[in-house]
């Protein structure tokens, strides 16, 4: 899922202080799963912002709404009647959802309520860790289902850096597993350690963000 | 405070003695307004509930849960404590004062003992002044 985390409430209050009527919009998909922008978070942030702005001397009216998805045009139609009644929108969706709202409703300022941080998995209750970097040239088939791009601090493609701690953790963060240690262990367990010694083709980064903004095109789905 | 502080007490049904008449006792308290609310379990309280109560103008909230080992839902009181902690942090962030929220673990409380917790919360919030969300309070 796409994961995100709240911006500091005071930062949001400072951005919204000049507006009188604000629409707070959540998204019930990815950011709900990571407890940043779903209905519950909307219900939490709405009273919090009202209080924060009241304390600052800027009482506001905040309306709240949670869409099934903010990144699909069809779901944004639900906002058509509400948008003319507000001065600004605070979106708790990922960066995609924020931009979709801003594109459909260019007449109102749209503020992001969260920082979108990663493509991640819920590893434990309350702990999400990155699993994918959307690099555009997936190597998971060669690395035993463990991504060195997203999970190695240095995105090394050919083995560990040499700084792995004795307990198998990353030298950059004692709480993060060295993914190359995990890859080697999984290769050993599968009896395929030799496969890691094979020379692999250079990774094609041109399909990643480094190749400029992505456009994905499917002729069979065009109208 | 210019007016009597208003304290909402949310308490698990298993924290109080069976013969405790909390509502009757709350009406007899002087010097503060106590609004007791019986809960099936303290874990039914979520962060938005706590914030909404303060947004509506209460000066403080006391959440009373069972001792950890006595919780009939095993982790109910733990969840409640975590939520109070989270809400306190948010209140600190917006400078509303984390001490507006209190958490206690008790069992077999008399009505008077429960209301003592409300009075203690009122004392704790007094330095903060009235809740700025209180109707009629200047911004």
Q: Does B135 touch chain A (CB under 8 A)?
A: no
Angstrom distance (rounded) from CA A170 to CA A126: 21
pLDDT score of B20 more than 90:
no
- With a threshold of 0.85, tell me whether the complex ipTM lies above it: yes
**pLDDT at residue number B30:** 85
Angstrom distance (rounded) from CA A56 to CA A13: 9
Q: Mean pLDDT over residues B99-113, rounded? A: 95
**pLDDT at residue number A184:** 97
* DSSP assignment letter at A18: T
Is B96 a member of any domain? Answer: yes
Chain B residue closest to A42 (CA)? B48
Q: What's the domain range around B112?
A: 6-128
Angstrom distance (rounded) from CA B115 to CA B109: 10
A contacts of B58 (beta carbons < 8 Å): none
Confidence of residue A164 (pLDDT cuts 50, 70, 90): very high
Angstrom distance (rounded) from CA A203 to CA B107: 63
Disruptive mutation site among B45, B48, B60, B85 for chain A (greatest number of A CBs within 10 Å): B48
CA distances to A126, A193, A208, B125 from A201, in Å: 38, 18, 16, 66
Q: Mean pLDDT over residues B84-112, rounded? A: 96
pLDDT score of B138 more than 60:
no
B contacts of A44 (beta carbons < 8 Å): 47-48, 51, 90
Decide: A100 and A76 in contact? Cβ < 8 Å.
yes
Angstrom distance (rounded) from CA A112 to CA A67: 15
- The upper half-sphere exposure of residue B132, i.e. CA atoms within 13 Å in the direction of its Cβ, equals 20
Nearest CB to A51 within list B46, B48, B133: B133
Q: Mean pLDDT over residues A169-191, rounded? A: 97
What's the pLDDT tens digit per position in B53-92? Answer: 999 999 999 999 999 999 999 999 999 999 999 999 999 9
CA distances to A25, A183, B89 from A159, in Å: 44, 9, 42
Q: Does A17 touch chain B (CB under 8 A)?
A: no
Contacts of A191 (CB under 8 A, 6+ apart): none
If we measure between CA atoms, which residue out of B60, B70, B75 comes closest to residue B106?
A: B70
**pLDDT at residue number B1:** 46
Decide: A184 and A176 in contact? Cβ < 8 Å.
no
Length of chain B, in residues: 139
Q: Mean pLDDT over residues B19-43, rounded? A: 90
Size of interface A-B (CB pairs under 8 A): 44
A2-117: CATH class: alpha beta
Q: Cα-flanking dihedrals φ and ψ of residue A153, to 5°?
A: -60, -25
Q: Do B139 and A8 touch (CB under 8 A)?
A: no
Q: Into how many domains does chain B fold?
A: 1
Cβ neighbour number for residue A122 with a 10 Å cutoff: 14
**pLDDT at residue number B2:** 52
Angstrom distance (rounded) from CA A173 to CA B10: 41
DSSP A143-176: TTT--HHHHSTT--SSS--S---TTSB-SS-TTS
What residue ranges of chain A are covered by domains with CATH 3.40.50.2300? 2-117
pLDDT score of B136 more than 70:
no
Q: Do B139 and A43 touch (CB under 8 A)?
A: no
If we measure between CA atoms, which residue out of B48, B64, B60 comes closest to residue B14?
A: B64
> What is the Rg, in whole angstroms, of the alpha carbon atoms belonging to chain A?
22
A212 forms beta bridges with: none
């Amino acid at each position: 899922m796409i994961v995100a985390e709240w911006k500091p409430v005071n930062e949001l209050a400072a951005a919204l202080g000049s507006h009188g009527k604000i629409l707070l919009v959540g998204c019930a998909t990815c950011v709900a799963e990571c407890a940043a922008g779903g209905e519950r978070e909307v219900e939490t942030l709405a009273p919090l912002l009202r209080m924060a702005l009241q304390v600052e001397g800027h009482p506001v009216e905040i309306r709240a709404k949670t869409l099934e998805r903010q990144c699909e045009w069809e779901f944004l139609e639900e906002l058509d009647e509400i948008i003319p009644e507000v001065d600004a929108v605070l979106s708790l969706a990922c960066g995609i959802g924020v931009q979709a709202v801003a594109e459909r409703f260019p007449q109102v300022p749209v503020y992001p309520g969260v920082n979108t941080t990663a493509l991640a998995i819920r590893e434990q209750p309350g702990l999400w860790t990155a699993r994918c970097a959307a690099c555009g040239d997936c190597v998971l088939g060669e690395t035993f289902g463990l991504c060195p791009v997203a999970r190695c601090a240095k995105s090394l493609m050919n083995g560990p850096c040499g700084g792995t701690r004795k307990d198998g953790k990353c030298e950059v963060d004692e709480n993060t597993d060295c993914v190359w240690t995990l890859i080697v262990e999984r290769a050993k367990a599968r009896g395929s350690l030799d496969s890691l010694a094979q020379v692999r083709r250079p990774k094609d980064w041109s399909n990643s963000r480094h190749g400029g903004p992505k456009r994905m095109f499917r002729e069979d789905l065009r109208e | 405070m210019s007016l009597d502080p208003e304290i909402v007490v949310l308490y698990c049904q298993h924290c109080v003695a069976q013969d405790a008449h909390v509502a009757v006792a709350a009406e007899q308290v002087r010097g503060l307004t106590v609004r007791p609310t019986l809960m099936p379990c303290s874990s039914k309280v979520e962060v938005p509930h706590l914030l909404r109560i303060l947004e509506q103008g209460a000066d403080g909230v006391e959440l009373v849960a069972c001792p950890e080992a006595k919780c009939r839902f095993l982790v109910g009181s733990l969840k409640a404590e975590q939520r109070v902690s989270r809400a306190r942090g948010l209140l600190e962030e917006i400078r509303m004062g984390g001490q507006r929220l209190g958490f206690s673990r008790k069992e077999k409380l008399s009505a008077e003992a429960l209301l003592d917790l409300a009075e203690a919360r009122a004392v704790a919030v007094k330095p903060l002044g009235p809740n700025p969300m209180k109707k009629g309070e200047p911004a």
